[in-house]
């Protein structure tokens, strides 16, 4: 079974330092659900001043590990 994580990601520059801003919006059963949420969220304060390309959909397989390999020698 797959799930889809919806994030809003953009760079924010403060005093010449770039910070990655990441907002996790939620987890959904389909990409279409994510797209429907994007249509709503792109009108909200904190989202509407950024391009729609800042919304990112990530696909995950339920029950699969994604980080273990990153920490093993």
6-55, pLDDT tens digit by residue?
999 999 999 999 999 999 999 999 999 999 999 999 999 999 999 999 99
Q: Which long-range contacts (CB under 8 A, 24 or more apart) does 66-73 make?
A: none
Three-state SS for the chain is CEEEEEEEEEEEEECCEEEEEEEEEEEECCHHHHHHHHHHHCCCCCCCCCCHHHEEEEEEECCCCCCHHHHCC
For the segment 46-65, the average pLDDT, to the nearest whole number, is 95
- pTM for the structure as a whole: 0.84
Residue with tokens 């079974």: 1
What residues form DSSP beta bridges with 5? Answer: 27, 58
Binning pLDDT at 50, 70 and 90, where does residue 73 land?
Answer: low
Domain boundaries, the chain: 2-71
């Amino acid at each position: 079974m797959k799930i889809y994580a919806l994030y809003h990601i953009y760079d924010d520059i403060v005093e010449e330092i770039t910070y990655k801003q990441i907002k996790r919006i939620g987890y959904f059963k389909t990409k279409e659900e994510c797209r429907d949420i994007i249509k709503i969220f792109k009108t909200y304060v904190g989202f509407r001043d950024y391009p729609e390309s800042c919304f990112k959909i990530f696909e995950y397989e339920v029950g699969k590990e994604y980080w273990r390999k990153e920490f093993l020698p």
